[in-house]
Structure 1
Amino acid sequence: MTIIFHPKRGTILECDFKGFIQPEMIKRRTVVVLSPQIGDRPGLCTVVALSLTKPKVIQKYHLEIFFDPELPYPYASPSKWLKGDMIYSVSFARLDLLFKGKDRNGKRIYDIRVLGDEVMRKVEACVLNGLGIED
């Protein structure tokens, strides 16, 4: 499934980076929505990547984000690392909500998380550092 609406800024989604070329992202991974809905960009959303793997050397564009409760499988982990240097504008067709399972009637259940303002300010600072715009 893919999303059909522009998600709220700070929403955690799954993004399928299939078809990209290394060293670009090339697999499914969680992302944070950076952009609000922009009128002249229907069907596009700007996101920044998250990773389960702690960076070998933590840079100003990295941020550890804690999740309580953890995100659903296969993304379950107490924390994830924001990769502020890995920013993408992607089609809604690449994005999906985080699937949790099904209820007793077979209806799909999604884990919908939106990062708070304080964390989003830190995310923005990391992205600016990842672009070399800020110290």
Structure 2
Amino acid sequence: MCDFRGYEEPEMVKKRPVVVIARNRHNGKPVTVVPLSSTEPVPLADCHHKMSENPLPDKPHIQCRAKCDMTATVGLARLDRYKPKGRDRCIPIISEEDFQAVKTAVAKAFKLY
């Protein structure tokens, strides 16, 4: 989970699940994240990856997308583990296929190829 409070719209502005796609090689404190959303983007684009399954353990029935055009670099202080109702905090894991697809969609969002 990433706390985007303090950002301003149209940026992400609330707590939401994210995929961590990179760490800073020289300073381990900032990380690059891609937010996940259950709201389908309009218009839908190549930079919006539909996840094969929702990584949140208590929400497998809710479809989500990685919004790769909303990639951000944030400090570790903004990150926390996910807290499902009635369970301990956890760090949800995505499949390697979804991780590679998210990175490809980020490259498309930034026109890196």
- The TM-score, its normalising length taken from structure 1, stands at 0.73
Percentage of identical aligned residues? 29
What does residue 52 of structure 2 align with? Answer: 66
Q: Is the counterpart of residue 127 in structure 1 residue 103 in structure 2?
A: no
| Distance across 1 between alignment mates of 2:57 and 2:111 | 30
Q: Following the alignment from structure 1 to structure 2, what is the Cα–Cα distance between the partners of residues 26 and 68?
A: 21
Residues 69-127 of structure 1 show CA distances to partners (whole Å, capped at 9, x for unaligned) of 7543xxx3532111111111111111011012456xxxxx1232222221111111100
Q: How many residues align?
A: 112
Task: Flag the 1:68–1:121 CA change in 2: closer, same or farther, 3 A.
Answer: closer
Bigger fraction of residues in helix: 2
* Alpha-carbon distance between aligned partners in 2 of 1:30 and 1:79, rounded to the nearest angstrom: 13
CA distance in 2, matches of 1:120, 1:112: 15
The CA deviation at 1:24 is 1.0
CA RMSD of aligned residues (A): 2.0
Contact 1:101 1:110 in 2 (8 A): no
Cross-structure match for 1:16: 3
Cα deviation code 1:11-38 (max 9, x no counterpart): xxx1110111111111111110101x44
Counterpart Cα distance in 2 of 1:101 and 1:120? 26
CA distance in 2: counterparts of 1:45 and 1:121, whole angstroms? 17
Q: Distance in 2 between matches of 1:38 and 1:91?
A: 10
CA drift of 1:66 comes to 3.4
What runs of 5+ residues in structure 2 fail to find an aligned partner?
Answer: none
Task: Name the SS for the 2:31 alignment partner.
Answer: strand
Point out the structure with the larger strand share: 1
Name segments (4+ residues, structure 1) moved above 3 Å. 68-72
Partner AA of 1:115 in structure 2: I
